[in-house]
Amino acid sequence: MSVSRERVVEKYAKAELGFWLYLMTDIILFASLFATYMVLRPNIAGGMSASELFDPTFALAETVLLLMSSFTCGLAVLFLRFRYKSPGLILLAVTLLLGGMFLFLEMYEFMEFIHEGQSWQTSGFLSGFFALVATHGLHITIGILWGLVLFWYIFKKGITANAMRRVSLFSLFWHFLDIVWIFIFTIVYLGAFV
Partner 1 sequence: MSRGFRLAVALLIAFAILGLFAWLLQGKQIDVLSPAGVVADEQQKILLFALILSTFVVVPVFGILTFVSLKYRASKRPVDYSPEWGESKRLELIWWGVPIAIIAVLGTVIYNTSHSLDPYKKIAGDNAIEVQVVGLQWKWLFIYPDYGVASLNRMPIPVDKPIRLVLTTEAPMSALWYPALGSQIYAMNGMESQLNVKATKLGQYKGYNTNINGEGYAKMTATADVMSMDDFLKWTNNTKSENNLLNMPVYEEIAEPEIVQDFKSYRLDDTSLYNTVLMRNMTHGAGASMHHGPGATHE
Partner 2 sequence: MSDFVTFLIGRMSFEYLPTDPATIGAAIGMPLGILGVAALITYFKKWKWLWQQWVTTVDAKKIGTMYIVVAILMLLRGGADALMLRLQTAVAVGDAKGPFDADMFQQVVTAHGTLMIFFVAMGLVFGIINWVLPLLIGARDMAFPVLNSISFWLFASGMVLNNFALIFGGFSNGGWLGYPPLTGLEYNPGPGVDYWIWSLQIAGIGSLLSGVNFFTTIIKNRAPGMTLMKMPIFPWSVLVTSVLIMLAFPILTVTLALLGFDRTLGTHFFTSDSGGNPMLYINLIWAWGHPEVYILVLPAFGVFSEVVATYSKKKLFGYKSMVIALLAIMFFSFIVWQHHFFTMGAGANVNAFFGIMTAVIAIPTGVKIFNWLFTMYRGSIHFTAPMFWFLAFVVTFTIGGVTGVLMAVPALDFQVHNTLFLVAHFHNVIIGGVVFGLFAGITHWFPKIFGFKLHDGLGKLSAILWQVGFILAFIPLYILGLMGAVRRLDSYDDPTWQPLFIVSGIGVVVIALGMAALLMQIGYSIWKRDELKDETGDPWDGRTLEWSVSSPAPHYNFAITPTVAERDDWWYRKQRNDTAYLKSDYVDIWLPKNSAVGLLVGVGAGMAGFAIIWHLWWLLVPALLLVVLVIIRQTMNDDDDARVSATELFHEDNLGRRA
**5 binds partner 2, rule: CB under 8 A:** no
Spatial distance between the Cα atoms of 138 and 142, rounded to a whole number of angstroms: 6
Spatial distance between the Cα atoms of 154 and 186, rounded to a whole number of angstroms: 36
In terms of Cα–Cα distance, which of 141, 171, 172, 136 is closest to 20?
172
Spatial distance between the Cα atoms of 94 and 73, rounded to a whole number of angstroms: 8
Question: Other C-beta atoms within 10 Å of 91: how many?
Answer: 21
* End-to-end alpha carbon distance in the chain: 62
Q: Which of 5, 9, 22, 86 binds partner 2 (CB under 8 A)?
A: 22
In terms of Cα–Cα distance, which of 168, 113, 117, 131 is closest to 146?
168
Q: Which of 3, 17, 31, 45 binds partner 1 (CB under 8 A)?
A: 45
Q: Which of 43, 51, 121, 186 binds partner 1 (CB under 8 A)?
A: 43
**35 binds partner 1, rule: CB under 8 A:** yes
Spatial distance between the Cα atoms of 94 and 62, rounded to a whole number of angstroms: 15
**17 binds partner 2, rule: CB under 8 A:** yes
Q: If contact means CB under 5 to 8 A according to the sort of partner, which of partner 1, partner 2, none does residue 86 touch?
A: none
Q: Return the residues of window 75-114 that contact partner 2 according to CB under 8 A.
A: none
Q: Which of 33, 44, 53, 180 binds partner 1 (CB under 8 A)?
A: 44
Q: Which of 88, 166, 167, 188 binds partner 2 (CB under 8 A)?
A: 166
Spatial distance between the Cα atoms of 142 and 161, rounded to a whole number of angstroms: 23
Q: Return the residues of window 126-185 that contact partner 1 according to CB under 8 A.
A: none
Nearer to partner 1, 95 or 123 (CB): 123
Angle between helices 161-184 and 124-157 (to 10 degrees): 160
Q: Which of 59, 92, 110, 128 binds partner 2 (CB under 8 A)?
A: 128
Nearer to partner 1, 72 or 123 (CB): 123
Binding site for partner 2 (CB under 8 A): 1, 3-4, 7, 13-15, 17-18, 21-22, 24-26, 28-29, 32-33, 35-36, 39-40, 43-45, 47, 120-125, 127-128, 130-131, 145-146, 149, 153, 160, 162, 166
